[in-house]
Amino acid sequence: MHNLTIAELIRGLQSKEFTSVELTQHFLDRIGSLNPAYNAVITVTAEQALKAAAAADQRLAAGNAPALCGVPMLHKDIFCTNGVRTSCGSKMLDNFIPPYNATVVENFEAAGAVVLGKTNMDEFAMGSSNETSFYGPVQNPWDTDCVPGGSSGGSAAAVAARLAPGATATDTGGSIRQPAALCGITGLKPTYGRVSRWGMIAFASSLDQGGPMARTAEDCAIMLSCMASFDDKDSTCIDREVPDYSATLGQDIKGLRIGVPSEYFSEGLDPGTEKAVRAALAELEAQGAELVEISLPNTGLSVPAYYVIAPAEASANLSRFDGVKYGYRCEDPKDLQDLYTRTRAEGFGEEVQRRILIGTYCLSAGYYDAYYGKAQQVRQLIQQDFEKAFASVDVIMGPTCPSPAFKFGSKGDDPVAMYLEDIYTIATNLAGLPGMSVPCGMVDNKPVGLQIIGNYFDEARMLNVAHQYQQVTDWHSAAPEGIL
């Protein structure tokens, strides 16, 4: 059952080939036996899941079940779950049990999905390797000596290891696409404002966006149709009808203009990765798409701009974790200053502290214009790059990240090397555009991701292109050794 896609599971549940309770128990068993090797899931809600599955079976029997009724899934531990610990991968929130659900969690609940538990992640979504989690790193199911990517590494590894058919994730600078690429699954970061951020613990508010992870584009379409909604609790959420993304997956891609930015194939790109991505582009060309050389000249500025804007916003977003109201509090503070200092020094990990310091510095009197002000200007330039490009192409494609999964610790001492991991993904966050990663090959038995960037609210087209590609290739169905 664990090799079935979400689309197949829905059909199986509706035709009563298996019950949701059977399915849920099956995945819970897999989490029980396999998760210790991967550390992808950090909270298992077995009792609640089985109860929800039993309720789903009743609805399925009654014949009026909603879209995802009875389908098991996982939530990234950044989404608040009412009554279930939501840690954001941090010691700071190790004891935090929200009294409310994120809108994304509500949406899946309304669609009848069964939540198996919460997935591991880089602390406060800050990281590209899942090494910054308070709960320890996640192992990549393709090679347990390698990272799964981050920050949604737990969700990506769980889907790759078939611990769940789909999982929610978030992407601030590549945190859906990069781990999807490194774990050989499909992941989509929607247009900023498409998915509500209510109840999604903020890292960098102007960049954060939730999205689905699954093995196929078709499954991502099913999940996104449920995940996206207009939410008046999030002022940045955009009031725009959510299409049925599954309904538009059958279109051929003849005449599709694919922009191929030269900046995405320059130095630093692993040759094996380039080869796999070029092969994928050739395959799409063979299906009738047209490849157009384009330039995104400010790509090189995206990483520096991002590492000003994201930490600046984070430095304020994380100020609420002060030991006063909830979460971690240091032992026996001697005064207020001591309470703040030790709570935050003990409760936050090194990378989170680094970014708070960077952000605080960038916003300081005398530095604001040189850093934050300049970064906002760069952000506009990057947006303009994409605007120009989309005047002549329908989608943009390139590698998701420069190389396949790397070994634990290999970039741990060099934050800049780690930050460059997101060089191809960050620009879309700065522009607010949707981006996707689709498995497109292997290098040394490790997956490679093809990135598809769309215009604003063009998720339906991106999903269709990815689906068409997956109709003629089978990289997405490859499984890590020992998984089947």
Partner 1 sequence: MSNWDTVIGLEVHVQLATKTKIFSGASTAFGAEPNTQACAIDLAMPGTLPVLNKQAVHYAVMFGLAIDAEIGKESAFERKNYFYPDLPKGYQTTQLEKPIVGRGNVEIELADGRKKTIRIHHAHLEEDAGKSLHEGDFRHGVSGIDLNRAGTPLIEIVSEPDMNNAEEAIAFAKKLHSIVTSIGICDGEMSQGSMRFDVNVSVKPSGSDTLGTRTETKNLNSFKFMEECIAKEVERQIDLIEDGGTVLQETRLYNGDTKVARSMRSKEEANDYRYFPCPDLLPVIVSDETIEELRRNLPELPDARQARFVEQYSLSDYDAGILSSDAAMANYFETAAEKSGNAKLAANWTMGELAARLNNEDLSIANSPVSAEQLAGLIVRIADNSISGKMAKQVFEGIWAGEGSADEIIDARGLKQVSDSGALEQMVADVLAANQAMVEDYINTDEAKRKKKLGGFMGQIMKASKGQANPQQVNQILAKKLNELL
Which active-site residues does the annotation give? 76, 151, 175
- Segment 279-338, which members bind partner 1 (CB under 8 A)? 312-313, 315-316, 318-322, 324-326, 336
Contacts of 55 (CB under 8 A, 6+ apart): none
Task: Say how far apart CA 390 and CA 393 lie, in whole Å.
Answer: 5
Query: Binders of partner 1 among 142-201, rule CB under 8 A?
Result: 197-201
Q: Which two tokens stand for residue 363?
A: 């916003």
- CB count within 10 Å of CB 461 equals 19
As beta bridge partners, residue 145 has none
**Of 17-25, 68-76, 358-366, 454-462: span binding partner 1 (CB under 8 A):** 358-366
Tokens of 400: 């998701």
**Closer residue to partner 1 (CB): 295 or 368:** 368
Stretch 336-355 residues interacting with partner 1 (CB under 8 A): 336, 340
Q: Is 16 in the site for partner 1 (CB under 8 A)?
A: no
Min dist CB 291 to partner 1, Å, is 36
Shortest Cβ distance from residue 365 to partner 1 (Å)? 5
Segment lying near partner 1 (by CB under 8 A), choices 108-116, 165-173, 365-373, 396-404 = 365-373
**What does the alpha-carbon distance between residue 55 and residue 58 come to, in Å, rounded to a whole number?**
5
What is the spatial distance between Cα 139 and Cα 152, in angstroms, rounded to a whole number?
12
Compute the least distance from the CB of residue 49 to partner 1, in Å: 22
CB 247 to partner 1: min, Å: 31
Candidates 7, 41, 102, 277; binder of partner 1 (CB under 8 A) is 102
Question: By CB under 8 A, what part of segment 43-82 binds partner 1?
Answer: 79-80
Phi and psi at residue 335, to the nearest 5°: -160, -175
Q: 282-285: long-range contacts at Cβ-Cβ below 8 A with a sequence spacing of 24 or more?
A: 283/469, 283/472, 283/473, 284/253, 284/256, 284/258, 284/397, 284/465, 284/468, 284/469, 285/258
Quick check: 202 binds partner 1 (CB under 8 A)?
yes
Residue type, 212: P
Cis check for the bond before 151: say yes or no (omega within 30 of 0).
yes
Shortest distance in whole angstroms from residue 122 CB to partner 1: 16
Site for partner 1 in 222-281 (CB under 8 A): 232-236
Q: Figure out which of the listed residues 6, 52, 93, 281 binds partner 1, where binding follows CB under 8 A.
A: 93
The reply on whether position 356 binds partner 1 by CB under 8 A is no
Name the nearest CA neighbour of 116 among 81, 151, 160, 153. Answer: 81
For partner 1, give the closer residue by CB, 338 or 444.
338
Q: At residue 243, what are phi and psi to the nearest 5 degrees?
A: -75, 165
Phi, psi angles (nearest 5°) of residue 146: -110, 160
Site for partner 1 contains 372 (CB under 8 A): yes
369 touches partner 1 by CB under 8 A:
no
The residue count for binding partner 1 (CB under 8 A) is 44
* Contact residues: partner 1, CB under 8 A: 79-80, 86, 88, 93, 96, 98-100, 102, 197-202, 204-206, 232-236, 312-313, 315-316, 318-322, 324-326, 336, 340, 360, 363-365, 368, 372
